[in-house]
Structure 1
Amino acid sequence: MTTSPEKSELILVTGASTGMGAATARELAARGYYVLAGVRREIDGRSLESSRIRPVILDVTEPEQIADLAALIDTDGRPLRAVVNNAGIAVNAPVEVLPMQEWRRQFDVNFFGHIEVTKAMIPALLKSHGRVVMISSLGGRLAQPTYGAYSGSKYALEGVSDALRRELAPHGVTVVIVEPGAVRTEMVGRGGITLKKVAADMTDEQERRYGGLMQAILAQSEGFLRDGVDASHAAETIATAATVSRPRTRYTIGRDAALLTRLARILPDRLLDRVLAAALRPLFPRSR
């Protein structure tokens, strides 16, 4: 890729330690922007650091770290072109089975963390007429079984993003939602590990109800790791959403996201239920 001329603008990318966040930081730097790449540990930022990428310690659930970053941006002097709210985790299990602390952890990272980062950056974005890019998910438009907590956090993010877009548009700040489908990232693998841990703590009765389903979802997740789009491909769409002069309000990533978000809009709920069940059925363990 040919490196673009350097631009005197900042872009903040949260959740940049790995996966789409790291790929997006590199893509934006290649397009000439100066990137503040939010990572949770110093070691996570070492592979990212370059003349146009500055790793910054940022756990989106830590208000003091968010405040420190807002102060850094305020004193930097360069305009804040965009905030890419990418940090996220996936905690999958049936509603009945998932412990409440895991529900809270899911929302703290995927929803409340994004809101707190965005609120802290709005003063800088108002000055620059910048942009908020919310990384939602196909799961923010379509909730599969065991995705209750994850989809709940993403549905909430979509609703708040719509409200925020309408609040800030009169003041020159745009808000864009990006909805990835299956992407090969570490988050998918970590979600599978969490699912296995939750499954190990199920009662015998819960195992009878949900054991096959959880095995099918795990197999589906492994398919995402094998067949999903590469994080660098996702990063190109995210970088475009953050920088193009006239962005769409929503972007999808991957054919699955493009297709299923359309189906979710046009199919009756019961028919959509059958479509999703049919897609999972071959992944259930065979009865002996």
Structure 2
Amino acid sequence: MAMENRAVLVTGAAGGIGRAAVDALVARGYTVYAAVRGEDASLGRTAGVRVVTMDVTDPGAVASAAERVHDEVRGHGLHAVVNNAGIIVQGPLELVPPDDLRRQFAVNTLGPAFVTQAFLPLLRAGRGRVVNVSAPTAHVALPFMAPISASKAALRALSDALRVELAAWRIPVIAVEPGATATAIFDKADAAARKALAAADPHRVALYDDHLERFGKAIANQKTGPAEAVAATIVTAVEARDPKRRYPVSADVRVYGMLAHAPAGLREQLVTRAFGLRGVRAGGGAP
């Protein structure tokens, strides 16, 4: 059943999962407020889409966007806020630039918090819900992906706390958990990691030569799913009358959920083996 005249906000709407979610929601009859950092002419030409310029890391910009949406939806409010905007910062934690680490949390954790704070009055008016796009690393931290793992674990904690806080208003807080997805975000993460390594102390980089070679091979062999599959799950989370707390998108994500409950030693052994790090050698370089 289509939901005409119901409005949804989607952050990170310019590409990948965000754009697929916008298209899927418009196809279901929603008016979609597509939040992007800069201008996006292609989104603006799509019927049913209203582009909102908003940097999720800037509370002032988020508040201004919320005022604009409030003026347009009037008393109808929002049916859902989909916190999709995200980035991936990866590489040996020892070598991650502080600014990259700060931005990881600013976008992935603080962004959803700022957006939810600003748009909650509209969700109350629309008897809506919060949909946070998470990741399996929220449950199982991965080597050389400490920043993204920690930011998504923090988002999971934020979601769990918020779910209880908003129960009195019957506002569900839902996590959609994609696995590896065929979008540009992974290429951007790899390019940023290479740039950081190129600027780092080469002696320290050399310490991780064997680690990074094996990690790179493991990542190259992982299978990716289509963004449309994630978008379909987001639509399910938006429309479900009695939504679940979590929606894993694929079978591999469900494996992470089970692995999270394994004894820590066993979990670390399995992760080490999965990323080819068993027997890894300490590289040369600075101590």
TM over 0.5: yes
Shift in Å, 1:8: 1.3
Partner of 1:55: 51
Root mean square deviation, CA, Å: 2.2
Partner of 1:105: 103
What secondary structure is seen at the aligned counterpart in 1 of 2:144? coil
Q: Deviations over 1:159-191 (max 9, x none)?
A: 010000000011121100111111111111101
Shift in Å, 1:284: 10
Structure 1: unaligned runs, 5 residues or longer:
none
Separation in structure 2 between the aligned mates of residue 57 and residue 16 of structure 1, nearest angstrom: 10
Kept after mapping to 2: 8 A contact 1:213/1:284? no
Separation in structure 2 between the aligned mates of residue 184 and residue 253 of structure 1, nearest angstrom: 13
- Structure 1 residue 138 corresponds to structure 2 residue 136: yes
Shift in Å, 1:282: 7.9
Separation in structure 2 between the aligned mates of residue 48 and residue 278 of structure 1, nearest angstrom: 46
Kept after mapping to 2: 8 A contact 1:8/1:79? no
Separation in structure 1 between the aligned mates of residue 278 and residue 235 of structure 2, nearest angstrom: 35
Which residue identity is paired with 1:38? A
Partner of 2:268: 273
Q: Deviations over 1:132-168 (max 9, x none)?
A: 0011101111111111111111111000100000000
Shift in Å, 1:203: 2.7
Shift in Å, 1:283: 11
Shift in Å, 1:127: 1.6
Separation in structure 1 between the aligned mates of residue 178 and residue 109 of structure 2, nearest angstrom: 16
Q: Deviations over 1:3-50 (max 9, x none)?
A: x645111100000111000000100111111101111221x3414632
Partner of 1:12: 9
What secondary structure is seen at the aligned counterpart in 1 of 2:267? helix
Count of aligned pairs = 280
Separation in structure 2 between the aligned mates of residue 183 and residue 246 of structure 1, nearest angstrom: 27
What secondary structure is seen at the aligned counterpart in 1 of 2:208? helix
- Structure 1 residue 195 corresponds to structure 2 residue 190: no
> Any runs of at least 4 consecutive aligned residues in structure 1 with deviations exceeding 4 A, and if so which?
282-287
What secondary structure is seen at the aligned counterpart in 1 of 2:96? coil
Partner of 2:42: 46
Inter-CA distance 219–56: structure 2 relative to 1 (3 Å threshold)? farther
Partner of 1:185: 183
Separation in structure 1 between the aligned mates of residue 59 and residue 66 of structure 2, nearest angstrom: 11
Which residue identity is paired with 1:243? E
Structure 2: unaligned runs, 5 residues or longer:
none
Match of 1:30 among 27, 30, 34: 27
Inter-CA distance 29–223: structure 2 relative to 1 (3 Å threshold)? farther
Separation in structure 2 between the aligned mates of residue 164 and residue 193 of structure 1, nearest angstrom: 34
Instruction: Out of 95-104 and 210-219, give the one that drifted further.
Output: 210-219
Inter-CA distance 274–5: structure 2 relative to 1 (3 Å threshold)? closer
Separation in structure 2 between the aligned mates of residue 200 and residue 238 of structure 1, nearest angstrom: 37
Inter-CA distance 210–18: structure 2 relative to 1 (3 Å threshold)? same
Kept after mapping to 1: 8 A contact 2:178/2:250? yes
Partner of 1:264: 260
Which residue identity is paired with 1:71? E
TM-score, normalised to structure 1's length? Answer: 0.91
Inter-CA distance 234–45: structure 2 relative to 1 (3 Å threshold)? farther
Partner of 2:243: 247
Separation in structure 2 between the aligned mates of residue 47 and residue 69 of structure 1, nearest angstrom: 17
Separation in structure 2 between the aligned mates of residue 222 and residue 142 of structure 1, nearest angstrom: 20
What secondary structure is seen at the aligned counterpart in 1 of 2:60? helix
Q: Deviations over 1:94-142 (max 9, x none)?
A: 1211121111011111111110010000111112221000111011111
What secondary structure is seen at the aligned counterpart in 2 of 1:233? helix
Kept after mapping to 2: 8 A contact 1:11/1:33? yes
Inter-CA distance 5–278: structure 2 relative to 1 (3 Å threshold)? closer
What secondary structure is seen at the aligned counterpart in 2 of 1:46? helix
Match of 1:121 among 95, 107, 119: 119
What secondary structure is seen at the aligned counterpart in 1 of 2:33? strand
Identity over aligned residues, as a percent?
35
